[in-house]
Structure 1
Amino acid sequence: MANTSLSTREDKPREAFPRATPLRRHSLYEAVTERLREMVLEGELEPGSRISEKQLCEAFEVSPTPLRQALKVLVSEGLVEMLPNRGARVTEVDVEEVADLFEVMAVLEGLSGTLLATRASDAEIAEIRHLHECMMEKFRKNQRNEYFQLNQTIHRRLAEIAGNRVLLELETSLTLRITRARYAANMQMGRWEESAKEHECFVEALEKRDAQGLSDAMSLHMRKTGNAVIQRLKQD
C-alpha cells in the first residue's frame, strides 16, 4: 500500500509566508541599533558613561535581546565597549587615534576623487548634485541632524560610485570610527559653514570631471574636518 502522507502534504495548497516573527525581531533589533547609535553619536550617551540595559529596555519598550544585539554592533563599530562583569560603556575618544584616522581618510578621499572623475556616470553625478542641494536646504534651515545624515549619505555614495571595492570597504570601516568626531565638528557653526562650502567645491569639480581638482578638494575637506575635530576634542 502506497504511503500517501507525502502526497497529501503536497496536495495541500501552499499558504503565503506569514509575517514571520523572526523578521519582526530582526527589524526591531535594527531600530534599536540605529537609535542607540544616534544617542552615542549625538552625545546623549557621553563618552565613558555606563549603559544601563534596564533603563534602555524600559525607554525603548523592548526585551534585553534586541538591545544586547544592538550593543554587539556598536562594539564592532568602536562606539561601545563591554567591561567584564560590569556591562557596557560608551568608549572614550582617543585624540591621537582620531588624528591618525583622519590622516588616512584624507588620502583615501583623494584617491576616491581621482576615480570618481572618470567612473561616475552623468546620472550618478546628477544624483550627487541633488543630494547636495537637499543637504544645503537643511543647512539653511539650521537642521543639523538632517544635514549630517545627508552628509554621510553623500560621502557613502561617492565611495560606492568610485567603483573600487577595497576602497569602499576601507572607507566604510574607517568612517564608522570617525563618525562621532565628525558630528562633533559640525556642531561648531563656523566649521559647519566652511564644510558646506567645501562640499560645493567638490561637487562642482565632479560635474566638471576635474580629476585633480576633485581629488584635492575631497582630500582638503577631510583634512580640515580632521583639524576641526582635533581642536574640538582638545577643548573638551
Structure 2
Amino acid sequence: MTEIRRPRGRPRKVKPEDAQPLLVPIGLHERASQHLRELILTGVLAPGQELVEADLSATLGVSRTPVREALKLLAVEGLVELRPNRSARVPDLQAEAITQLFEAIAGIERIAAEFAAVRITDVELAHLRALQDEMEGYYRATDLAPYFVINQQIHRLIVSASRNRPLQEAHESLYGRAELVRRRALRTPERWDESVAEHRAIFHALEARDALRAGALLCDHVGRTGTAVLNHLSAVQRSPDKACVSVR
C-alpha cells in the first residue's frame, strides 16, 4: 500500500483502489495533428494544397509551434510533404506512386494473412467476425464514414494477428498514405459492393485456417482497391495485382 505523508500526524495509508489514475494529457501538437489528419483524409485539404502555418494556426485555434510539430508528425505518415523554405503541402496523387504503394501493402498484407491464418486466436476471430458484421451493417445503410473506420480496424487486426512485429511496423508506416486515397475508391458503388464480398471471403479463409487462400484473397483485395483508386482518378490503367506473387 502507498503511504501519503502529511505535515503533521502519522502517515495515512491509502489502499490501491483509492488511488487516482494517472492522466496523460494529449499535447496541443497531437490534437492539431489529429484534426489535420482528418481534414486531409476527408479531402477538405485537397492533394496539392499548400498548408500555410499561419492559416492553420487560425483555423485550429493554436499557436504556430504546435502546428509546425503536427506537420512533422504527419510528414512521417506520408500525409504531408515538407519543403525547404516553402510551405508544406498535401502530397499530389501520382499514379506511379499510388501503384507502388498498393503493391507494397498488398505484399505485406498477403504475408501477414498467411501467418494470421495459423496464429489468430479464437478471441481475435470472434472480434473479426463482429467487425465484419458491423461493417456490413454500415454498408447496407450506405454510411461510408463509419464503414471506412471499421474497414481499417479489420486490416490492422489481421496484420496484428500475424504476430510479426516487423510486418506490423512496415504496414503501419505505409498505411497512412494509403488512407489518403482508399476512401476515393469506395465512393464508386461497384467497388464498394465488391469490397464487402471480398472481406467476407477473407474472413471465411481465416476462419478455415487456410493460409494460402487467405493471403491470396487479401493481396487481391488490396490490389483491386489500388486499381479502383487509379481508375477513379482517371489515371493509368496499370494494376497493382502484380504484387500477388506467392511468397512461399
Please say whether Structure 1 and Structure 2 have the same fold, judged by a TM-score greater than 0.5.
yes
Counterpart secondary structure, 1:47: coil
Deviations 1:100-133 (A, max 9, x none): 1212222222211211111001111001111111
1:217 aligns with 2:232: no
1:76 aligns with 2:76: yes
Deviations 1:59-91 (A, max 9, x none): 222222222211111111222122333222111
Shift of 1:210: 1.6
Shift of 1:17: 8.9
- Count residues in correspondence: 223
RMSD: 2.4
Structure-1-length-normalised TM-score: 0.85
1:7 maps to which residue? none
Aligned residues of 1:80 and 1:89 also touching (Cα < 8 A): yes
Which stretch shifts more, 138-147 or 53-62?
Answer: 53-62
1:53 maps to which residue? 53
Aligned AA for 1:116?
A
Map 1:78-227 to 2 at 5 A: 78-227=78-227
Aligned AA for 1:134?
E
Distance 1:82 1:175 in 2: 19
Structure 1's 130 and 17: CA in aligned 2 closer, same or farther, altered over 3 A? closer
Distance 1:19 1:160 in 2: 28
Aligned AA for 2:130?
H
Aligned residues of 1:95 and 1:234 also touching (Cα < 8 A): no
Identity value in percent: 38
Distance 1:146 1:41 in 2: 13
Runs (4 or more) in structure 1 with deviation over 6 Å come to 16-20
Counterpart secondary structure, 2:82: strand
Aligned residues of 1:46 and 1:90 also touching (Cα < 8 A): yes
Counterpart secondary structure, 1:172: helix
1:40 maps to which residue? 40
Aligned residues of 1:115 and 1:162 also touching (Cα < 8 A): yes
Which stretch shifts more, 63-72 or 120-129?
Answer: 63-72
Deviations 1:143-171 (A, max 9, x none): 21111111111111111111011111111
Counterpart secondary structure, 2:225: helix
Shift of 1:235: 4.8
